[in-house]
Amino acid sequence: MAGEEAVSNKQVILSDYVTGFPKESDMKIITGSINLKVPEGSKDTLLLKNLYLSCDPYMRGRMSKLDKPSFVASFNPGEPLSGYGVSKVLDSTHPNYKKDDLVWGLTSWEEYSLIQSPQLLIKILDTNVPLSYYTGILGMPGLTAYGGLYELSSPKKGEYVYVSAASGAVGQLVGQFAKLVGCHVVGSAGSKEKVDLLKNKFGFDDAFNYKEEPDLDAALKRCFPEGIDIYFENVGGKMLDAVLLNMRIRGRIAVCGMISQYNLEKPEGVHNLMQVVGKRIRMEGFLAGDFYHQYPKFLELVMPAIKEGKLVYVEDIAEGLEKAPSALVGIFTGQNVGKQLVVVARE
């Protein structure tokens, strides 16, 4: 089967469905082989060389056996994981893509991927930025921060914005986006190093280490004596309960994710939802995919800001596909500092 162009193809395989916290041993590295040509007769198909792979919290859901998938299906044990990445087109039978195009979007956790009907791949036009940014600030996490903050939460100058998991792929951008419109921004994260980043690198007005706060309600009252107008929700559970007590009238909660809950057998109960009534709070969930049609508008805002140094982005880069399992596992215990990604190859 392997012809002239066949090369070895390292892959990260899901060994079996995961319960609780994922472990490195839930995945394994295997080496197959792949022909670097799209098979004859395959229409609208791409052969990609994967350069950067993104480790994202939502992937935890796909590692479980989902009876009723909400917005993503389970990974298949024995097959490579899939996720967002930056890739180079090596061969194409799709009219919109040609050899050497760079793309970002859904690919597989392997060196080379054959992608049919590439509906979720966007061509990279501007390469005067680190290519890895298309897994983060210029990719799905960027659109997530943009949509959840600007579109759902309509921040106004002077409003009080709180971001949890604030040094992560999305949080660091939410805070910076909120500062661009003149909000007062406070973030929380899980280490002194991350809190320092928030204050000194990302320009948050204040930040705290939630692991050192015995009383989250008290921490929020200290940071937000006037209360919170906008909460960008990344963690859920006890944090959400404490936030509800500190929301202001007509506050908005953009629900991006609840990473503190993903590895629990049963999610924690949230007790303070009655706050929603008297304060007329709006809680709204969203997915980055809801904002893909706004990607060109998003780039017009973000690209100049990056080049002028008005937006910065911190990445935590694991070198080599072999490091992908530990990198992915690490985001659920907060090992990463900034956006976690894996370099498979540098072009």
Q: Does 271 bind a second copy (CB under 8 A)?
A: yes
Rank residues 85 and 236 by Cβ distance to a second copy and give the closer one.
Answer: 236
Q: Does 30 bind a second copy (CB under 8 A)?
A: no
Total residues in contact with a second copy, by rule CB under 8 A? 33
Selected from 287, 324, 329, 343, the binder of a second copy by CB under 8 A is: 287
Name which of residues 64 to 103 contact a second copy (CB under 8 A).
70-72
CB of 271 to a second copy, least distance (A): 5
DSSP string of 196-260, one letter each residue: HIIIIIS--SEEEEGGG-S-HHHHHHHH-TT-EEEEEESS-THHHHHHHHHEEEEEEEEE---GG
Question: Sign of torsion, CA 50 339 66 14?
Answer: positive
CB of 297 to a second copy, least distance (A): 20
Q: Does 293 bind a second copy (CB under 8 A)?
A: no
Rank residues 52 and 162 by Cβ distance to a second copy and give the closer one.
Answer: 162
Rank residues 252 and 323 by Cβ distance to a second copy and give the closer one.
Answer: 252
Rank residues 125 and 273 by Cβ distance to a second copy and give the closer one.
Answer: 273
CB of 288 to a second copy, least distance (A): 11
Answer whether 181's CB lies under 8 Å from 155's CB: yes
Name which of residues 210 to 269 contact a second copy (CB under 8 A).
236, 240, 255-258, 261, 266-269
Answer whether 141's CB lies under 8 Å from 169's CB: yes
Q: Is 36 helix (H, G, I), strand (E, B) or coil?
A: coil
Cα–Cα dist 216/210, whole Å:
7
Selected from 43, 211, 282, 297, the binder of a second copy by CB under 8 A is: 282
Q: 164: burial class by Cβ within 10 Å (0-12, 13-18, 19+)?
A: buried
Q: What amino acid occupies position 234?
A: N
Answer whether 254's CB lies under 8 Å from 284's CB: yes
Rank residues 70 and 119 by Cβ distance to a second copy and give the closer one.
Answer: 70
CB of 68 to a second copy, least distance (A): 8
- Cβ contacts of 182 within 8 Å, gap of 6 or more: 157, 158
Rank residues 71 and 128 by Cβ distance to a second copy and give the closer one.
Answer: 71
CB of 213 to a second copy, least distance (A): 20
Answer whether 303's CB lies under 8 Å from 132's CB: no
Q: Is 37 helix (H, G, I), strand (E, B) or coil?
A: coil
Binding residues for a second copy, rule: CB under 8 A, are: 70-72, 236, 240, 255-258, 261, 266-287, 290
